Structure 1
Amino acid sequence: MSETLKRHIVIGTAGHIDHGKSALIKSLTGTDPDRLKEEKERGMTTDLGFAFFGDDATIIDVPGHEKFVRHMLAGASTIDFVIFVVAADDGVMPQTIEHFEILKLLQIKRGVIVVTKIDLVDKKRIETVIGEIKQLIKDSFFENAPIVLVSNVTGEGIENLKRTLRVLIEQTETKTDKGVFRMPIDRCFTMKGFGTVIAGTVLSGRVRVGDTLELLPQKKELKVRGIEVHNKKVDEVGTGFRAAINIIGADKEEIERGNVVAQPGYFEPSFYMNGSLYLLHSAPPLKNFTRVHLHLGTGEYIARVVILQKKTLEPGEKGMVQFRLEKPAVCDIGDRFVIRTYSPVITIGGGVILEPKAEKIKGFDEEIIEHLQKMETQEPIVLVEEDLNQTWKTPLTPEDISRDINLPAEGVKNLLDELIKKDIVLLIDARRALYYSKKNLSGLKERILEIIKLFHDENPTLVGIPKIELLNRLPKGIDNILFNFVIQNLREENKIKITDDNKVSLFNFKVKLDSRLSEIITKIEKIFLDARFQTPDIESLLTKNIGEPELLKKAYRYLIDNGTLVYVGEGVVFHKDMVEEAKKKLIGFLREHKEIRVSEFRDMLNTSRRYALPLLIYFDTKGITIKRGETRVLGTGGGV
């Protein structure tokens, strides 16, 4: 069933209506690309037509009529090089110019110029038309393109054109394969006995019969039932090939041009995407928030253009923009686009998508502009670095990054290793394979140190900020693993200190006490020493008239924070000396008697069960004792 597929080339056509593009393709291939009855009757191509040139190339015939330029864009977005057609009798016409501008915007840089209908004119007219063409292509990617003269009626020049196309096919470089399957749909039809068939050019990756694909933006699961290339059944198809894929899971009515089939889990539909836009010299100034037709992949969308660096983009200028779409689209980093005015519909510019899944941008942001300028390189290692830089609240796995930038995880892992060697990225958790940007690490450290300093300024009498409070003061969504990594990192750098009860302070911070507060602290400490094992709570202290309520609370918290007073649970607090005394008595008793009951511990301390039980439970948590039924035995833990 399967045939070995060699490299495949997709050739497009461009040019004004009725300049003989479809007739030329029939002369080259023997196939009439006008597949619709409407086209036969009108003598013009209204939608995409397809024909095979040899066994390694497909020619896409695109319409020339202005009304159908959107179909031309759908075809042109996936071609390797172009046959640019100009009729000898008409010469360069409006759609000739518009198609040429579109080819430039889509960065289709190779092709052949074909002058058709030479049987209708004399040599002088042909020379005039060639002059018009050379003026059009001057200083462009097409300046040195071959010009071939043909007649579709007499066949003159057709063999020469075939040879020229063969040379271009051989010279065409293989498309870069990102490894993740994606195919924009440009045709969908039903075949009797087979069901739904989708067709398009595979932009990346491979797909096999039996594979599962995702239909986007519908997010619908599809099963690959069969694949055809050049009307031949194959087991698999890869980058650069035009393919017809027989699918299970969706009807023809559910699918439209512009939809995408892709490897599940990588591509996400989005209403917002960022890119770099070039405005044609012939275009009017583009104002911020202008409504346009956005041609992307094989789809057409209505979108608002948000200009990120200024209020208006002038003709001939390039700028960073955000598209806000009225319906979601699916694309990838590096996809080319063209924009046309909403009404009347005129091509005014185009560019490249830099962020296919963007957040809504509010106002000018220099960091976003800088980020997008870096993304313009489209180098995989830069894409990985920027993905990490843009995700500062959480570390990422290679799989996370792979889904963000649509590259295979193994390739991402190799790029991460390179970035680690360059000291740009850190592996913060080897077991979970979590990576984080060093640039973001530096910024997060600064935020944390600022929060701690602010806490010290607000609470000069407190030892430090509770670790959980520190986390809560950071922006919502900070990953716990990342937070603990940064705290440990700051501790190792002697930037912070952490107490046994998780109070965090700057390394050189010292509690500041004024004379009045020191006086109250001394009084409270004496009260707890005198009370021994029947201590007051904070409410009782407030009634003793030993200081202003606010100062008393600060003093009380200070004594707990610095460990002078020990909270053992159930609202019970003891002086640290009393806790140590109780521990020694308890250990001595257990060494002699092996076990102790709560009542015995209570009597030993000359207190009540209200105080004795919380203290015993506290010793349990420290490993001093182990509860066994109604008694405690000696544990193996260290001191309190």
Structure 2
Amino acid sequence: VRAIQSHGEDLEEARAGMRAALNLSGVDRDFLERGSVVVREGEVSLTSWADAFVRNLPVNVAPFRYGERLTLHCGTARVECRVYPYEKREIPPGEGGYARVRFDEPLPLIGGLRFILRGYRRLENFGYTVGGGVVLNPRPPARNPARSSPAPLEILMGGNERERVETAVRESAEKGITVVEIACLTGLGRKRVEEAVRGLVEEGVLVISPDGQVFPAGEVEAGKKLVLERVQELNRREPSRDGFSPGEVVGGVRGFPRSLLEFALRELAREGKVQKGAAGYLPAVRKEEKTSLEMIARCVESRGVEGPTPAEISRETGIPERDVRNLLGRLVREGRAHRVRDFYFSAEVVESVAEKVRSHFREKEELTVSEFRQLIGTSRKYAVPLAELLDQLRVTVRKGDVRVLWKR
């Protein structure tokens, strides 16, 4: 803003209610049109519908019916619109009610703005004005007003500041909302909103994420529950994975904004309910799981070169097979065990076998399955998968029916 004038006089500032002219730099006059407003960047956005309290003037001869076509005047803007009263109630002359108003063209609106509604037929001795109202929520959630209760709008209309702020956050739970956006939605000043949010956070009613999004605490708790279930489900499907990315986790949860779910995931990690590894997130080991984990580790270690399957471990320990598979995956990720086919071998046993194989290659250049079986003292059932495991670990390389030492 390069200059401000009011009634031909230069001013340093213009206040609410004043008629003023602005000299704006970097704005082409042809770009401006009726209804344009000057705002701080990011504070006000265009909207194609808003929830409002609408009043039908006593001089009007007809009620406002569901889908009533009218012309709306707000500030200097003039647009065609339709009025949809909540619960599909008509608004008779002389009465008011809550409604969703849809505009033919997007408008820049904030809560608390008043507007005039005009009809298409001139009223006797009055003109075309048939009603008016006040904007209560310029960014309402998607819902059918015919089947919805106007209870949130009643709070936005007549509640105290903290009630209005809390309702604004709940109304925006699907998208998330910042303090600046709350101020625009409610029409309250930013400082008053910041004070109200601070108090509600201290009471545990609201939660603020690191990126400044404000959410109802109850929604965050519900999101955390679903995110934790999602991590556990992914781990059950692929127990050998080293972790799951935030995208994999939150992408499978519906009904919550992504920003809330990502915040919920970080909160779960902070609380120790999930753990973050190099490859992503995994369920944290609960106290009762640690006992089961050690039982499984001892079972695998005791079997030596005859690596057990999950079913065999389940029968021996009494732990359900599904849980056995999940915990075996954790042993593999921690480097305490190796998996090949459906057999599991302890890391110490595998290293011992690898050392025997290296000793063999100091005297011979090749190793057959029969020689390998005799070398480690086991049957072909376990020798073949162990030989494949040594190939995977780059101890040996298979060439036809024999194996040779892997060379870097």
TM-score, normalisation: structure 2: 0.63
- Measured in 2, the distance between the counterparts of 1:298 and 1:389 equals 31
Aligned to 2:219: 440
Aligned to 1:226: 3
- Once the two structures are superposed, residues 516-571 of structure 1 have per-residue CA deviations (whole angstroms, 9 ceiling, x without a partner) of xxxxxxxxx99x959747x99x9xx9xxxx9xxxxxxxx97554224289657998
From the superposition, tell whether residues 474 and 403 of structure 1 become closer, same or farther in structure 2 (CA, over 3 Å). Answer: same
- Measured in 1, the distance between the counterparts of 2:332 and 2:263 equals 30
Number of matched residues? 338
Pair 1:376-2:376 in alignment: no
Please tell me the residue identity of whatever aligns with 2:4. Answer: I
Aligned to 1:354: 136
Aligned to 1:502: 282
Pair 1:244-2:21 in alignment: yes
Aligned to 1:423: 204
Query: What is the CA distance between 1:260 and its match in structure 2?
Result: 1.6
Aligned to 1:277: 54
Query: What is the CA distance between 1:404 and its match in structure 2?
Result: 5.4
Pair 1:413-2:194 in alignment: yes
Asked if 2 retains the 8 angstrom alpha-carbon contact of 1:227 and 1:235, the reply is yes
Query: What is the CA distance between 1:333 and its match in structure 2?
Result: 0.6
Give the percent of matched residue pairs that are identical in Structure 1 and Structure 2: 18
Asked if 2 retains the 8 angstrom alpha-carbon contact of 1:304 and 1:324, the reply is yes
Secondary structure (helix, strand or coil) at the match of 2:140 reads coil
Please tell me the residue identity of whatever aligns with 2:218. Answer: K
Query: What is the CA distance between 1:380 and its match in structure 2?
Result: 4.7
| Residue in structure 2 matching 1:302, options 77, 80, 84 | 80
Rg larger in structure: 1
Asked if 1 retains the 8 angstrom alpha-carbon contact of 2:250 and 2:258, the reply is no
From the superposition, tell whether residues 499 and 440 of structure 1 become closer, same or farther in structure 2 (CA, over 3 Å). Answer: closer
- Measured in 2, the distance between the counterparts of 1:450 and 1:380 equals 36
| Equivalent residues in 2 for 1:524-535, closer than 5 Å | 532=306
- Once the two structures are superposed, residues 314-362 of structure 1 have per-residue CA deviations (whole angstroms, 9 ceiling, x without a partner) of 2233211111111121222101112122344632222110112335532
| Residue in structure 2 matching 1:561, options 318, 321, 326 | 326
Asked if 2 retains the 8 angstrom alpha-carbon contact of 1:333 and 1:378, the reply is no
Asked if 2 retains the 8 angstrom alpha-carbon contact of 1:273 and 1:356, the reply is yes
| Residue in structure 2 matching 1:581, options 336, 343, 349 | 349
Secondary structure (helix, strand or coil) at the match of 1:242 reads coil
- Measured in 1, the distance between the counterparts of 2:347 and 2:71 equals 76
Aligned to 1:392: 173
- Measured in 2, the distance between the counterparts of 1:330 and 1:309 equals 26
Structure 2, unmatched stretches of 5+, are: 290-298, 313-319, 358-365, 377-382, 396-406
Aligned to 1:572: 340
- Measured in 2, the distance between the counterparts of 1:426 and 1:583 equals 50
Query: What is the CA distance between 1:292 and its match in structure 2?
Result: 0.4
Please tell me the residue identity of whatever aligns with 2:350. Answer: A
CA RMSD of aligned residues (A): 5.0
- Once the two structures are superposed, residues 70-95 of structure 1 have per-residue CA deviations (whole angstroms, 9 ceiling, x without a partner) of xxxxxxxxxxxxxxxxxxxxxxxxxx
Pair 1:331-2:106 in alignment: no
Asked if 2 retains the 8 angstrom alpha-carbon contact of 1:564 and 1:575, the reply is no
From the superposition, tell whether residues 391 and 446 of structure 1 become closer, same or farther in structure 2 (CA, over 3 Å). Answer: farther
- Measured in 2, the distance between the counterparts of 1:478 and 1:506 equals 27
From the superposition, tell whether residues 240 and 343 of structure 1 become closer, same or farther in structure 2 (CA, over 3 Å). Answer: closer
Asked if 2 retains the 8 angstrom alpha-carbon contact of 1:289 and 1:305, the reply is yes
Question: Higher relative CO (CA 8 A, sep ≥ 6), structure 1 or 2?
Answer: 2
Asked if 1 retains the 8 angstrom alpha-carbon contact of 2:165 and 2:197, the reply is yes
Asked if 2 retains the 8 angstrom alpha-carbon contact of 1:295 and 1:338, the reply is yes
Pair 1:612-2:399 in alignment: no
Aligned to 2:255: 475
Asked if 1 retains the 8 angstrom alpha-carbon contact of 2:51 and 2:136, the reply is yes
Asked if 1 retains the 8 angstrom alpha-carbon contact of 2:84 and 2:101, the reply is yes
- Once the two structures are superposed, residues 35-91 of structure 1 have per-residue CA deviations (whole angstroms, 9 ceiling, x without a partner) of xxxxxxxxxxxxxxxxxxxxxxxxxxxxxxxxxxxxxxxxxxxxxxxxxxxxxxxxx
| Residue in structure 2 matching 1:257, options 34, 37, 42 | 34
Asked if 1 retains the 8 angstrom alpha-carbon contact of 2:43 and 2:181, the reply is no
TM-score, normalisation: structure 1: 0.43
